[in-house]
Structure 1
Amino acid sequence: MGLAGLSPPAAVAGPLLDRLMEARTAADQGGGAGAMPALPAGVRLLRELPYGEDARQRMDVYLPPGLGSGRAPLLVMVHGGGWRVGDKAMSAVVANKLAHWLPRGYILVSVNYRLLPATAPLEQARDLAAALARAQALAPSWGGDPAAVVLMGHSAGAHLVALLAADPAFARDAGAQPWLGTIALDSAALDLPGIMEAPHPSLYDRAFGQDPAAWRAVSPYHRVAGTTRPLLLVCSSRRALACAQADRFASRVGSLGGRAEVLRQPLSHGEINRRLGEPGAYTAAVEAFIATLRRGG
């Protein structure tokens, strides 16, 4: 969530703050669905592929030129938006990632999922597990390798992919295969009880309710069992809570024998998403992590 790391002054607490935060969340995600970015030359787009019956259970697949070997890796991207808004086709979600990873032979899969208020985060995670399973099943027909998948999400999407990484039962129950690793882009919702037991905006109450058992059910920190594939936790150094939660979660994963790395970046919450894929040290660091996965990490 865009402002989860802030402690609001009393004067702006309550509904006004919630409206401001929701507006900021939409801005961080690039606004509404909006126009799709221009495709790089030779890229083929498969739009609105279903992985379930609901209209939100759809994914877009971007295929680079020259596929056919059946060995192309997949980058599966999950948008953010406070568990309530967002869209797979937003420029901030896909544009720079297309520009960087498709020329390197990746297939990019951008996923929508059902949203609040109709669908709670636990079911959203199950949506993503189903999308992952469907993408892996279809990958050979695209020229892709269903085992060479990197799962990535931003903001609320980062929380959801971290949840899938923490507890492989989500993916296993949906019929998904193991994937190479997971990249969570600036989630401040890795330890849900830690958030909910401290002062927090009421939009978290609308997402996660008042039941501590329900908080734990959607808390990556509490679901991790040591069997997770490698994780990269990118956090904005401008958001103290996001990096504190990343450090805490990485320590928990490490204590259970897993691998989790924290990458701090001096970027805003929205820039963490939007600028990934631009030339520079940030993209290079993420690329280096992915390279370790493909070497057997």
Structure 2
Amino acid sequence: MYLQLRQRLRTVSLGLLSCLFLMSPAQAGLLRERLQERFAERHAATAENTTENDEFADTSVTSNSLPAGVRVIRNLAYGADAKQRLDVYLPTHPLTNAPVIFMVHGGAWRTGDKAMSNVVDNKIARWVPEGIVFISINYRLLPQADPLLQAQDVATALAYAQQHATQWGADAHQFVLMGHSAGAHLVSLLAADPTLATRQGAQPWLGTVSLDSAAYDIPRIMAAKHYRFYDKAFGSDPAYWQAASPLQQLKAQPTAFLAICSTQRPDKPCDQARDFVTQAKSLQISASLQPEPLTHKEINQQLGLSNAYTQQVETFLAGLSQLLCQRIVPDKATHCFRN
């Protein structure tokens, strides 16, 4: 089977070379350009889409693979759709007024799952035993729901979790939003305009951690050469681009914001993240940029491991409230918030 596949690839490659020799220079140039575009699109999938698909191949977290001292309540319904479900990870010991990390998975707005190991494993192992509740959510995906409806789902899930927080020993006023990739875009959109969340019944939250979004400025993306999955997500209407763009929706508000970005991705997400943070600071929002020499996948996967990256995120978390600081293991945090 492998040899047959190699032979077929070799035949296709020789055929393409023959076509190039028979074409005029202009035709050959157009073919080369098209092949380069196709290669770029496939490479883009590695950065923002196939990388996510690699994560899907990981074994989802189950009750049998939970870290010691962690339990989970699965598939709580915050809406009528089968995708509108969330999982709550808790310590095995009782909690009182615990802070909450509220996680939104990625997947190019069209795939992904709340139980993927890259989404939850290292994070729950690090934080839940210390008395931090970790909530991971699903939401409706393309083509069923566009990104604005997905953001509405995230807000509805947040409102549900806050309303039920006391049942888990958590504090409704001690939530931190976190999202990776497409999920990072969704939490960034809610952070940019919190009224999108409050209209669904959500209360203000402490801060937002955006894990490697490259979609802060949707009109800028769509006006330039871009990857195909953006067309599937955002369509062709400039008014929709504006409405779904965190940078264009950014309003003065008190929520702290941390933008983490990969310096390894070819589409340079740090450029847009930097612009968003700069604009937020101009509105007197506490915002910071954290570039990381990690791949798109590693930014999600390695958060929660014992490394400098995790410690910097924990410094941000510890600065959000005294309660959060107290739940972060002392030798992991460099400072605590002081009233």
TM exceeds 0.5? Answer: yes
Asked if the contact 2:95/2:131 (under 8 Å) is kept, the reply is no
Equivalence map 1:172-183=2 (5 Å):
172-183=198-209
Aligned residue type for 1:56:
K
Asked if the contact 1:75/1:107 (under 8 Å) is kept, the reply is yes
Asked if the contact 1:56/1:112 (under 8 Å) is kept, the reply is yes
Equivalence map 1:159-178=2 (5 Å):
159-178=185-204
Separation of aligned partners in 2, 1:17 and 1:117: 24
Asked if the contact 2:51/2:296 (under 8 Å) is kept, the reply is no
Asked if the contact 2:52/2:112 (under 8 Å) is kept, the reply is no
Are residue 265 (structure 1) and residue 292 (structure 2) matched? yes
Separation of aligned partners in 2, 1:19 and 1:254: 36
Are residue 128 (structure 1) and residue 151 (structure 2) matched? no
Which residue of 2 is the match for residue 11 of structure 1? Answer: 35
Aligned residue type for 2:292:
Q
Separation of aligned partners in 1, 2:190 and 2:57: 26
Q: CA deviation at 1:294?
A: 1.2
Which residue of 2 is the match for residue 149 of structure 1? Answer: 175
Deviation per CA, 1:71-101: give whole Å up to 9, x if none.
Answer: 1110000000000010000000000001111
Deviation per CA, 1:109-131: give whole Å up to 9, x if none.
Answer: 00000000111000000000000
Aligned residue type for 1:280:
N
Q: CA deviation at 1:214?
A: 0.4
Which residue of 2 is the match for residue 286 of structure 1? Answer: 313
Which range moves more in the overlay, 280-289 or 38-47?
38-47
Aligned equivalent of 2:135, options 99, 103, 109: 109
Are residue 245 (structure 1) and residue 269 (structure 2) matched? no
Asked if the contact 2:69/2:129 (under 8 Å) is kept, the reply is no
Higher-RCO chain (CA-CA 8 Å, sequence separation at least 6) = 1
Which residue of 1 is the match for residue 222 of structure 2? Answer: 196
Judging changes above 3 Å, is the alpha-carbon distance between structure 1 residues 18 and 49 closer, same or farther for their aligned structure 2 residues?
A: farther
Structure 2 unaligned residues grouped into runs of 5+: 1-32, 323-336
Asked if the contact 1:166/1:228 (under 8 Å) is kept, the reply is no
Asked if the contact 1:231/1:259 (under 8 Å) is kept, the reply is yes
Deviation per CA, 1:189-213: give whole Å up to 9, x if none.
Answer: 0011111111001221111011111
Identity of aligned residues (%): 49
Which range moves more in the overlay, 119-128 or 34-43?
34-43
Asked if the contact 1:186/1:233 (under 8 Å) is kept, the reply is yes
Aligned residue type for 1:254:
K
Asked if the contact 2:76/2:85 (under 8 Å) is kept, the reply is yes
Are residue 206 (structure 1) and residue 232 (structure 2) matched? yes
- SS of the equivalent of 1:63 reads strand
Q: CA deviation at 1:238?
A: 1.3
User: Which has the larger Rg?
Assistant: 2
Asked if the contact 1:26/1:32 (under 8 Å) is kept, the reply is no
Which residue of 2 is the match for residue 77 of structure 1? Answer: 103
Separation of aligned partners in 2, 1:161 and 1:32: 25
Asked if the contact 1:26/1:86 (under 8 Å) is kept, the reply is no
Q: How many aligned residue pairs are there?
A: 288
Separation of aligned partners in 2, 1:136 and 1:277: 24
Aligned equivalent of 2:61, options 36, 46, 51: 36
Q: CA deviation at 1:23?
A: 6.5
Instruction: Tell me the TM-score normalized by structure 2.
Output: 0.81
Structure 1 unaligned residues grouped into runs of 5+: 1-8
Separation of aligned partners in 1, 2:58 and 2:161: 22
Q: CA deviation at 1:228?
A: 4.7
Separation of aligned partners in 2, 1:123 and 1:228: 24
Taking only aligned residues, the RMSD between alpha carbons, in angstroms, comes to: 1.9
Q: CA deviation at 1:146?
A: 0.7
Judging changes above 3 Å, is the alpha-carbon distance between structure 1 residues 84 and 18 closer, same or farther for their aligned structure 2 residues?
A: farther
